[in-house]
Amino acid sequence: MKKLWQNKDIKSVFDFAEGYKAFISNNKTERECVIAIREMAEKYGFISLKEAIKENKKLKAGDKVYAINIDKCIMLFTIGEQPMQNGMRLLGSHIDSPRIDFKPIPLYESADLAMIDTHYYGGIKKYQWTAIPLAIHGVVCKKDGSKVYLNIGEKDDDPVFCISDLLPHLDPKFLEEGKHMITGENLDMLIGGIPLENEEKEPVKKNVLKILAGYGIEEDDFISAEIEIVPAGKARDMGLDRSFVLGYGQDDRICAYTALTAIIETENPKFTTGAIFVDKEEIGSVGASGMQSRFFEDTVAEVIALTGDNSNLAIRRCMRNSLMLSNDVTAGYDPNYESAFNKNNDAQLGKGVAFCKYTGSKGKSDANDASPEYIAKLRQTFDKEDIGYQFTEMGKIDQGGGGTIAYIAGNYGMNVIDGGCALLNMHAPWEISSKVDIYEAHRANKAFLVME
C-alpha cells in the first residue's frame, strides 16, 4: 500500500473534498441526489434520453445522454468510438442511505406532545438515532397532481427534531449491561408541543396540522408522501489536520460523487462509458428503482437502438462484454474494535481505494467473486497511473458481511468487482472517511473509464 498523503498535492485533495462535502450536505435523499446529478450532467452536455427517443436522435461517438427512473435512479452514458456490443465501462453506485421514514399515518398526540410514528430503513443501530438533531426531507404528492417538497432542519434558523432517549437513571438494562435496547416502534420523533387555542381534543396535533397547512399539506396527504428523517447539519472537516470528512450518507454517496465527477470529466472515450446511480441497495436492491429492476437493461437497449443497432443479440453482447466497478464502501479497520477485524486483510483509511474480490458473508454467500484475470487488468491500469489502492475483505469471517449491486451486474456475464472508500461508523448517522481516499476514488474511476 502506498503512503498516499506523502505523495499527494494536499491542496488538490482538500479542494476536491470541498465539492464532495457540499454534495452530501445538500443531497440527503435519493430524489435530491437525482436532481443534483441531473443538473450537473446537463451542465456538462448530457441530454435527456427520453427527449432523444422522442426526436429519434441518432447517437454518435461523444454524445451524452441521461435517463431517470421514478425520480430515484439515474443513469449517464457517453457514447464511445467502439460499437456498444463490444462492451461498456460502467461505474455503479447507490444513492440510498440508512435512515428513518414517516409511516403512512404518522402524526399522533400523547401526553400533550405531538409525535411522528416512524419505520426505519436499512441496517441501523437504533440507539444511535436518539438524542441527536434531526431534519425532515421529502416530497408530499397531493391528489391534484401537485407536489410539496420538504427540507426542514438544515438552515441555521430552521427548527430541528429529535427522537428522545431514556435517561440512565431509569434504564436498568443500561445500568446492568452498559447498553439500552431500542425497538423500531420506539423510534417516534417529537415534532411539536404547543396546543391550538380553543381545541380540547388533540390540540397539540391540531396545531402541528395548522403549521403543515402553511406548506399546503393536509393530514391525509401523508398517505401519498415520501418523507425521510435524516441527521441535521452539514458535513464537516474532522481532525486537527482536517484529514477526514464527518458526514451523513457517505455510504454510498461518496462513491456516487466520485463516479459522477469521473464520467463528466471523461470526453470522447473509446468504449461507451456509463455511471449508474440506483436506489434500494440498503434493502436488497429490490423494487422498480433498485438494481434488480429492468430499468438498467431497458435503458441500455434504448441507447443501443439510438446508435443504430436494434438487435437483441447486440444488447446481450454489450452486457456480456462490459466491465464494471461496483462502487461501494467497505468497513475501515478501527483500533477501538480490533476484535471484529482481520488487520492484514481489512481496509485502512488513508490507503486508497478498497477493492473487495468477494463482498458477501460467511462462505462467500451472495458474493460476486471477481476473476483474477480482471483484477490483474485493474492492477496494471491503476499502477500505471500511480493510483493508491488496496485489496481487502470486510471484517472477520462469520462476524457478519455485506451486500452490493456487483452480483446483479455479474448475472449478465460481465466482469465486475466491488471498489470504494473505507469508512468508520458505517451506517451510523455520522460516518467518517479519509479525504485522500475520496480523491483516489475519483482518480481510479477516471482511469477505469478509459481502460482498454
CATH code: domain of residue 387: 3.40.630.10
Between CA 49 and CA 56 the distance in angstroms is 10
Task: Examine residue 424 and state whether it is found in any structural domain, yes or no.
Answer: yes
In angstroms, what CA-CA distances link 325 with 114, 225, 281?
46, 34, 15
Task: Examine residue 115 and state whether it is found in any structural domain, yes or no.
Answer: yes
Task: Examine residue 240 and state whether it is found in any structural domain, yes or no.
Answer: no
Torsion 158-37-99-132 (CA) sign? negative
| Residues 442, 362 share a domain | yes
CA nearest 81: which of 267, 270, 266?
270
Is the bond into 252 cis (omega within 30 degrees of 0)? Answer: yes
In angstroms, what CA-CA distances link 78 with 45, 49, 303?
10, 11, 10
Range of the domain at 193: 99-231
Between CA 233 and CA 26 the distance in angstroms is 10
Grid cell, residue 94, equals 447507490
Between CA 355 and CA 375 the distance in angstroms is 9
| Residues 76, 20 share a domain | yes
In angstroms, what CA-CA distances link 274 with 11, 118, 247?
29, 36, 27
Strands 353-356, 236-238: pairing is unpaired
The DSSP code for 76 is E
| Residues 433, 412 share a domain | yes
* Residue that is last in its domain, among 169, 203, 231: 231
Contacts of 396 (CB under 8 A, 6+ apart): 339, 340, 341, 342
Burial class (CB in 10 A: 0-12, 13-18, 19+), 160: middle
CA nearest 318: which of 81, 79, 88, 90?
88
* Residue that is last in its domain, among 231, 265, 287: 231
Q: What are φ and ψ of residue 132, in 5° steps?
A: -130, 155
| Residues 271, 354 share a domain | yes
| Residues 441, 337 share a domain | yes
Contacts of 196 (CB under 8 A, 6+ apart): 203, 204, 206, 207, 210
| Residues 285, 222 share a domain | no
Query: Are the CB atoms for 269 and 445 separated by under 8 Å?
Result: no
Tens of each residue's pLDDT in the chain, 452 residues: 457 887 778 999 999 999 999 999 999 999 999 999 999 999 999 999 999 999 999 999 999 999 999 999 999 999 999 999 999 999 999 999 999 999 999 999 999 999 999 999 999 999 999 999 999 999 999 999 999 999 999 999 999 999 999 888 887 776 666 566 788 999 999 999 999 999 989 999 999 999 999 999 999 999 999 999 999 999 999 999 999 999 999 999 999 999 999 999 999 999 999 999 999 999 999 999 999 999 999 999 999 999 998 889 999 999 999 999 999 999 999 999 999 998 899 999 999 999 998 887 777 777 788 899 999 999 999 999 999 999 998 888 887 777 899 999 999 999 999 999 999 999 999 999 999 999 999 999 999 999 99
| Residues 93, 184 share a domain | no
CATH code of the domain covering residue 153: 2.30.250.10
Task: Examine residue 238 and state whether it is found in any structural domain, yes or no.
Answer: no
| Residues 226, 140 share a domain | yes
pLDDT number for residue 1: 46
Grid cell, residue 330, equals 467497505
Task: Examine residue 242 and state whether it is found in any structural domain, yes or no.
Answer: no
Between CA 192 and CA 214 the distance in angstroms is 15
The three-state secondary structure class of 37 is: helix
CA–centroid distance for 305 within its chain: 30
| Residues 225, 348 share a domain | no
Between CA 356 and CA 136 the distance in angstroms is 35
CA nearest 128: which of 248, 251, 279?
248
Between CA 401 and CA 331 the distance in angstroms is 10
pLDDT number for residue 50: 96
| Residues 155, 58 share a domain | no
Strands 415-420, 353-356: pairing is antiparallel
Number of domains in the chain: 2
Between CA 292 and CA 407 the distance in angstroms is 10
The DSSP code for 346 is B
For residue 308, the number of C-alpha atoms closer than 13 Å in the C-beta half-sphere is 7
- H helices, E strands: number in the chain: 12, 20
Grid cell, residue 264, equals 463528466
Task: Examine residue 168 and state whether it is found in any structural domain, yes or no.
Answer: yes
| Residues 284, 273 share a domain | yes
Residues facing residue 392 across a β-bridge: 356
* Residue that is last in its domain, among 231, 265, 280: 231
Q: What is the 3-state secondary structure (H, E, C) of 177-246?
A: HCCCCCCHHHCCEEEECCCCCCCCCCHHHHHHHHHHHCCCCCHHHHHHEEEEEEECCCCEEECCCCCEEE
Grid cell, residue 228, equals 425521510
Torsion 340-345-351-357 (CA) sign? negative
Task: Examine residue 150 and state whether it is found in any structural domain, yes or no.
Answer: yes
| Residues 268, 206 share a domain | no
Task: Examine residue 378 and state whether it is found in any structural domain, yes or no.
Answer: yes
Grid cell, residue 410, equals 455479474
Query: Are the CB atoms for 407 and 418 separated by under 8 Å?
Result: no
Residue 56 sits at the vertex; the CA angle it makes with 51 and 59, to the nearest 5 degrees, is 90
Contacts of 237 (CB under 8 A, 6+ apart): 17, 21, 244, 245, 246
